[in-house]
């Protein structure tokens, strides 16, 4: 192996790595996507070296020009990687040194791959965060628009997957929207903790070269610089938190997707999927399958797997950098990629979804939806709730025994129950209007929630 092909750290060793050892440690296949970030971080570091009097202005300019050329070649797929390139970081530095000689060899002064890699990864995650946030906002707006349009559309709400009480479609959709708004808030909080530059921490104890990590952080757009160099290179909580937030968000998307699939089931007929977001069957010509919703439902398991894998790698590691930490990237990349594409597909699916209010209203004719209203009407007349609950339950048992419905009850039957106007309570529009407290399913409350969510999104713009 020539000196040019040897790893950066080869001076300490008399023999090259065993081929299988090199293959195990080679991360270029997945960390090559950090190339753009590595170029920017290297340029910022070169300017720090210039500030410290270790590079001339001409040397810094030459380094920046060559770094950008290498970055462009990698982006275009024209860059020639060598067998000794363990990762994209060493590949870029090797190429710059090949082209600039001693000037390129000066670039690594005062830095380690430990702080370089973490700085690159943070910048990549911050960029992915912005795309994910945009996807969340798009999906939120689609839910808000449907909720506004259907703030009076009645439907049966369920618990345990069984009929429970009447709600409005707008209220149901906004339940998903509020969950996604919390995801947005979580990611916003993560961003503040993530926007801390590790550059300058070195391998773990900074350097003696009088570099300024605060200035480097400013150049890279971070809000702050590291407070402790060991923590800066050895902790991956910012990656773990990102994947945890992605897991929670993917879980919310999965639940929304489950409702999309259920609502568009022909047996219910509550919604129709746009053809662009459904697929056919290779055997059954009539099928219109909710594949986007089904895949979005499943992706939560994949992102959860990323979180479990990453957490398993991180737990129990002593302070400082360990090569175990190389395994953080694939989990982070996969979680971000999966969440981003799922958000885009599900947002398009929801945007183009068409709801049919008539079968929803027909489903509210199920009389069991109104038993709570009957019991609460008795409470308003002074009955203790347990007594009211028992009386309505006994009436239900009688109806089941006799094989009749509430509609078969005579005015005397209602009077015997203590509710002369009980039949009037069996109405979905009345039931949702009666639940007009903030956060409830009434049309008024739905529009209040819509306004609140709109204000939340406007404040983040």
Give me the active site residues, please.
160, 281
Distance (Å, whole) CA 244 – CA 238: 10
Query: b/e for 396-428, b at 16 or more Cβ within 10 A?
Result: eeebeeeeeebeebeeebbeebbbeebeebbbb
- On whether the CB atoms of residues 203 and 321 are closer than 8 A, the answer is yes
Q: Concatenated DSSP letters for 279-298?
A: B--SS-TT--B-HHHHHHHH
- Tokens representing residue 210 in the block: 């009088």
β-pairing, 162-168 with 224-225? unpaired
Distance (Å, whole) CA 287 – CA 278: 9
Distance (Å, whole) CA 30 – CA 10: 23
Other beta carbons less than 10 A from residue 252's beta carbon: 19
Q: Which residues pair with 168 in a beta bridge?
A: 154
- Tokens representing residue 88 in the block: 């994209």
Distance (Å, whole) CA 90 – CA 93: 5
- On whether the CB atoms of residues 114 and 204 are closer than 8 A, the answer is yes
Q: For residue 322, give the H/E element and its range.
A: none
- On whether the CB atoms of residues 151 and 443 are closer than 8 A, the answer is yes
Distance (Å, whole) CA 254 – CA 302: 11
- Using alpha carbons, select from 87, 123, 114 the residue that is nearest to residue 242: 123
Residue partners of 425: CB distance under 8 A and separation at least 6: 370, 373, 374, 377, 419, 431
Task: Give percent helix, percent strand, percent coil of the chain, each to the nearest 5.
Answer: 65, 5, 30
- On whether the CB atoms of residues 28 and 82 are closer than 8 A, the answer is no
């Amino acid at each position: 192996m020539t000196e040019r092909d040897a790893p950066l750290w080869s001076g300490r060793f008399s023999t090259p790595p065993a081929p299988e050892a090199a293959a195990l440690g080679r991360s270029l296949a997945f960390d090559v996507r950090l190339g753009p970030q590595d170029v920017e971080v290297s340029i910022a570091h070169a300017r720090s070296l210039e500030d410290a009097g270790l590079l001339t202005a001409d040397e810094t300019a030459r380094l920046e020009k060559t770094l950008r050329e290498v970055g462009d070649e990698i982006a275009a797929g024209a860059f020639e990687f060598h067998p000794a390139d363990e990762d994209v970081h060493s590949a870029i530095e090797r190429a710059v040194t090949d082209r600039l000689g001693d000037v390129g060899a000066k670039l690594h002064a005062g830095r380690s791959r430990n702080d370089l890699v973490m700085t690159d990864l943070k910048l990549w995650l911050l960029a992915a965060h912005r795309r994910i946030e945009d996807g969340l906002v798009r999906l939120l707006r689609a839910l808000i628009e449907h909720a506004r349009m259907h703030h009076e559309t009645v439907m049966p709400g369920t618990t345990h997957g069984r009929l429970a009480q009447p709600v409005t479609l707008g209220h149901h959709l906004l339940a998903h929207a509020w969950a996604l708004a919390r995801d947005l808030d979580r990611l916003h909080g993560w961003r503040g903790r993530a926007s801390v530059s590790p550059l300058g921490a070195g391998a773990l104890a900074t350097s003696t070269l009088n570099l300024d990590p605060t200035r480097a952080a400013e150049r890279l757009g971070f809000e702050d610089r590291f407070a402790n160099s060991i923590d800066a290179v050895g902790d991956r909580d910012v990656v773990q938190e990102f994947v945890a937030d992605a897991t929670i968000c993917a879980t919310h998307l999965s639940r929304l997707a489950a409702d999309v699939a259920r609502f568009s089931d022909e047996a219910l007929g509550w919604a129709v999927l746009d053809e662009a977001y459904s697929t056919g069957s290779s055997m059954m010509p009539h099928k219109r399958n909710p594949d986007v919703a089904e895949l979005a439902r499943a992706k939560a398991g994949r992102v959860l797997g990323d979180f479990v894998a990453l957490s398993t790698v991180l737990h129990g590691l002593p302070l400082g950098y360990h090569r175990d930490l190389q395994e953080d990237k694939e989990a982070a990349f996969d979680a971000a990629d999966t969440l981003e594409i799922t958000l885009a597909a599900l947002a398009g699916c929801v945007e183009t979804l068409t709801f049919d209010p008539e079968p929803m209203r027909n489903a509210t004719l199920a009389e069991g939806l109104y038993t709570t209203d009957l019991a609460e009407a008795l409470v308003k007349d002074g009955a203790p709730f347990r007594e009211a609950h028992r009386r309505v339950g006994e009436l239900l048992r009688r109806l089941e025994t006799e094989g009749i419905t509430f509609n078969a009850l005579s005015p005397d039957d209602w009077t015997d129950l203590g509710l002369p106007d009980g039949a009037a309570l069996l109405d979905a529009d009345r039931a949702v209007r009666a639940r007009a407290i903030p956060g409830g399913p009434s049309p008024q409350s739905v529009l209040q929630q819509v306004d609140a969510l709109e204000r939340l999104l406007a404040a983040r713009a």
